């Protein structure tokens, strides 16, 4: 049986490496607790922040979740992005990895302020 903490750690390392491979500065929180990291103003991040990627002056806060299986309605068939939301909630967007990498590359190469 796989250790859940090890599985989560490996997922965080994979995401961290994605940013590093794109030459985007990123850092992983100690113990998966964002309060162990500080932003440019010296304030701690919230506890649910696993990784922070620094793109220009934007701190992209990331929470990493690994699942054995996604619900069927969140699985990609012919699309690059899935948009979903709870009733009266905000939209959540899920991207294919290749789409996410391409967007990051374009943002960084254009110096886009998000």
Residue 26: pLDDT band with limits 50, 70, 90? very high
| Average of per-residue pLDDT across 81-96 | 91
Pick the closest to residue 32 from 53, 19, 48 (CA basis): 48
Residue 38: pLDDT band with limits 50, 70, 90? confident
Residue 54: strand pairing partners: 25, 59
| Average of per-residue pLDDT across 9-29 | 91
Pinpoint the alpha helices (H) of the chain.
4-21, 97-110
Domain boundaries, given as residue ranges, for the chain: 4-110
Mean pLDDT of all residues in the chain? Answer: 86
Residue 16: per-residue pLDDT: 93
């Amino acid at each position: 049986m796989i250790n859940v903490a090890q599985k989560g750690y490996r997922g965080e390392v994979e995401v961290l490496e994605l940013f590093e491979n794109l030459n985007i500065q990123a850092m992983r929180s100690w113990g998966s607790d964002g309060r162990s990291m500080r932003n440019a103003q010296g304030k701690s991040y919230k506890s649910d922040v696993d990784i922070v990627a620094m793109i220009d002056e934007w701190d992209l806060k990331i929470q990493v979740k690994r699942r054995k299986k996604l619900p069927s309605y969140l699985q990609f068939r012919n699309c690059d992005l899935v948009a979903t939301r709870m009733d009266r909630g905000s939209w959540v967007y899920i991207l294919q990895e290749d789409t996410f990498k391409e967007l990051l590359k374009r943002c960084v190469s254009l110096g886009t302020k998000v």
